[in-house]
Chains A and B, each alone.
Chain A
């Protein structure tokens, strides 16, 4: 009993914990810049405090650039376009197949058809946007820059790690 159950389970537990620790090491090594959202939150908070102190003496500070999101890399947009395109195609095909499947529960169901086509088209439109962003990137018109800066199309901008300083990134009015 001890040799057959206890030791193997104890050993298995040790191996699992060790594996989890090693995996955590790998993740830490591969993603050294985690906590981007946290650092952004801290930078925004710090800027608010500095702006408050400046306002007390009648001075104003311009909004820091890190409040506006920045372009992701072309590769990211391309990967997103592929993923969204494939997802859209799958949603479209699944919706149409379910609608036409005589033996299926969604046969001629307008809901299944509508959802499948709706999601499919939406994903494809997003894929197209991502593709356009990958292709045009920073050369795109100004309104695209605005859209990227204020939506998930762009990524959070943070001051460099270890040198968070609200004044490094904006000018005084």
Chain B
């Protein structure tokens, strides 16, 4: 049936003849490939891109389109008008007789059997980088030859509709080289239809996701109706419904068919299907562009993983807690990657492949690639993969026998490590000073031109990269020194006692330094400092509703105004709560006012005095003291007790670097507050220019999209932002990541340990305490916590410090041995057990718990007798 004109075919049947994308477009080429592999598709033919090119050339449209493609995007108010103008130009020009005839000849047999569907198939469509889903037109139930010809011209025109142009511009695809082919397909009278993803784009990679609607699927694709949602395990084809929908009988066969499509086409597929008269038909197949292996960094909520690597959220969950929105992810992930690389580079001549990543993203949540860290550790002089596991997990996954021989530690390596350590302290101090200066600049952003705003952002970002590298380096150095202390102590005491003494000897790491800006204490100290000179005012504040505290103080004269100014200053200088460029204290001052009211009412204790590390050292030496050691000292001429010095030096080093880590984090969050101001200013401008509907949508943009839009680039389609919001919500619903997982994380299993529950974790801070459990999902729920309660949470970050001052014990599901939660608990002398999996949904709010910070046990007490 091929009709040839000027050597280029106008019409080609889709029968697996090997059509190319430049000639028939992405959609038609996909259908042709399906046919080639023997998959069932409806009878179809395609009007080629050559026919489109011939039409635009002959009709004199080429010049107009060239000028049109150079023109800026229209104002939001003129979109409809421009769309109508484009369509009018295409419809006003008749088809050439040869083309018209070829379409009629090809369509006639199909129309004889019933109506057809006319679908666009652009030459840049269904590509790996961009799906163009919904960007071009489709017409269904077309019944006559003339209606087919009109629909074909409308499809051609849809290449130039404003939404499609904006979409292409965002993906960097040039307008003028494009062409549009059109698929004409026999309509199927579907009993059921829908969309199937061979890998769940928003969830687990071992699941398929299938959406089902009764009848024709166009309403589903266009988003007009809500489908029944099913997931199918890829290995067992076990079906699960989301909600209470019944699974249609053909679903297992459909799952098998979709898997075959993925297998034959060599990549995860997004398949449109229909169930007609007891058999399945495929209407379209295209690569999954979001969430799958072809996902771009800024587009999905899953990052490609390196095969079967082992991942853990520990070590990164405090830096990037929860589901990280696209904007924050695209800002912080490159910083972290670079930080890991710079730390490795400072320690040895290790070559890391450019595509090797240290941080992955699963269901929107960050996780460290433990395999990558292990590989790097093994290549560093004296490095140990097992120590990497111990640092991040608090336990080892592999046995020491599996550990390859460590590279020898040369003098050069030692000098290099020492130099790197010196640089850490310099970097942290320099960055702290610079951050202080930048915050005090009080740079006004309101009238700043867009380019200057982004220039300021670039300057902040440079410093943030340095600080992140310093934080990661300090953390690594602190961990190494801490582990060195444990190993040293194991010469004289057993492993458990060594761990306990190491904790005591390094308590106070946050206050050791004279600068004292470590946020964890600074926040608490500032509350106390602000409240102290204003006791009278605070008394008035204590009974006031929190939301009205500020107004009430302003009415109380100069003193009240000064307190308000002090709080405003605190809010401004404290920066972000937990993540660089994330939500800041200033955005939601409620919490700060709440804490002040607690101070005022006497409910908030003064910051606890940290345990005295020197006294701990005295006690340790007393424990270790023996007549034998005394004799050895005399014989070796030790006027100074060298063992004490050695231990003290190792402890001081661990304490120093852990303190530096906290200081770097504090400075990073303060700096993040400045970048947050830029984000909010940008969001305000984008809403004012109608590029965004509401400021909250800015979180759904990638960093590059945000910058582009601030400079005037068009926004992503509204549907795309809606999709990201939906995926983000689904990621939140999917819950946290497992402690350790290989390749793809499973959904966290529910841990049910019965009524006499004892959960175990890592003993992070010594001591035993009992009290009612308080399950806290976020800092906003902190008001429910009362003095002496056992705080049970997923993880903490610096903004939680005031809660740690009130609670009697700490139980966390996340957090490694050197996490913020562990350090602050030791600082406050708080019994703490970390990495207690399932704690937040095993224990009930209010029930009595006993936390044993020596053994790592969290026990449910049955009643007052136990208590």
- CB within 8 Å for A56 and B429 given contacts A10-B635, A18-B639, A165-B437: no
Q: Are the C-beta atoms of A165 and B436 separated by less than 8 Å?
A: yes
Q: Are the C-beta atoms of B642 and A18 separated by less than 8 Å?
A: yes
Say if the beta carbon of B426 comes within 8 Å of chain A: yes
Residues 623-649 (chain B) with a chain A CB within 8 angstroms = 635-640, 642, 645
Q: How far is the CB of B593 from chain A (nearest CB, A)?
A: 28
Q: How far is the CB of B433 from chain A (nearest CB, A)?
A: 4
User: What number of A residues sit within 8 Å (CB to CB) of B?
Assistant: 38
Say if the beta carbon of A139 comes within 8 Å of chain B: no
Q: Mark A105-128, 1 if CB is under 8 A from B, else 0.
A: 000000000000000000000000
Q: Which residues of the other chain, B, contact A10 by a CB distance below 8 angstroms?
A: 635-637
Q: Are the C-beta atoms of A52 and B433 separated by less than 8 Å?
A: no
Q: Are the C-beta atoms of A11 and B456 separated by less than 8 Å?
A: no
Q: Which residues of the other chain, A, contact B431 by a CB distance below 8 angstroms?
A: 46
- Give CA–CA (A39, B438) in the complex, Å: 19
- CB within 8 Å for A57 and B640 given contacts A42-B426, A167-B436: no
Chain B contact patch, size range: 35 or more
Q: Which residues of the other chain, A, contact B638 by a CB distance below 8 angstroms?
A: 14, 17-18
Q: Are the C-beta atoms of A11 and B637 separated by less than 8 Å?
A: yes
- Give CA–CA (A58, B638) in the complex, Å: 63
Residues 88-147 (chain A) with a chain B CB within 8 angstroms = none
Q: Are the C-beta atoms of A164 and B458 separated by less than 8 Å?
A: no
Q: How far is the CB of B113 from chain A (nearest CB, A)?
A: 67
Residues 596-642 (chain B) with a chain A CB within 8 angstroms = 635-640, 642
Q: Which residue of A lies closest to B448 (CB)?
A: A57
Say if the beta carbon of B463 comes within 8 Å of chain A: yes
Choose from A13, A46, A56 the contact partner of B437 (Cβ within 8 Å): A46
- CB within 8 Å for A53 and B635 given contacts A21-B645, A42-B430: no
Q: Are the C-beta atoms of A56 and B438 separated by less than 8 Å?
A: no
Q: Are the C-beta atoms of B452 and A57 separated by less than 8 Å?
A: yes
Q: Which residues of the other chain, B, contact A78 by a CB distance below 8 angstroms?
A: none
- Give CA–CA (A22, B645) in the complex, Å: 11
Q: Are the C-beta atoms of B438 and A53 separated by less than 8 Å?
A: yes
Q: How far is the CB of A138 from chain B (nearest CB, A)?
A: 28
Say if the beta carbon of A162 comes within 8 Å of chain B: yes
Q: Which residue of A lies closest to B457 (CB)?
A: A56
Q: Which residues of the other chain, B, contact A41 by a CB distance below 8 angstroms?
A: 426
Residue with the greatest number of chain B CB neighbours at <10 A, chosen from A19, A49, A161, A166? A49
Q: Which residues of the other chain, B, contact A164 by a CB distance below 8 angstroms?
A: 429, 432-433, 436
Q: Are the C-beta atoms of A165 and B463 separated by less than 8 Å?
A: no
Q: Which residues of the other chain, A, contact B430 by a CB distance below 8 angstroms?
A: 42, 45-46, 49
Q: Which residues of the other chain, B, contact A13 by a CB distance below 8 angstroms?
A: 636-637
Choose from A11, A43, A53 the contact partner of B443 (Cβ within 8 Å): A53
Choose from A14, A53, A166 the contact partner of B433 (Cβ within 8 Å): A166
- Give CA–CA (A58, B452) in the complex, Å: 8
* 7 shortest interchain CB distances as A-B pairs: A14-B637, A46-B433, A11-B637, A50-B437, A56-B455, A18-B639, A49-B434
A-B contacts besides A49-B434, A59-B441, 5 pairs, CB < 8 Å: A10-B636, A14-B639, A21-B645, A38-B426, A161-B514
Q: Which residues of A contact B (CB under 8 A)?
A: 7, 10-15, 17-19, 21-22, 38-39, 41-43, 45-47, 49-50, 52-54, 56-59, 159, 161-167, 172
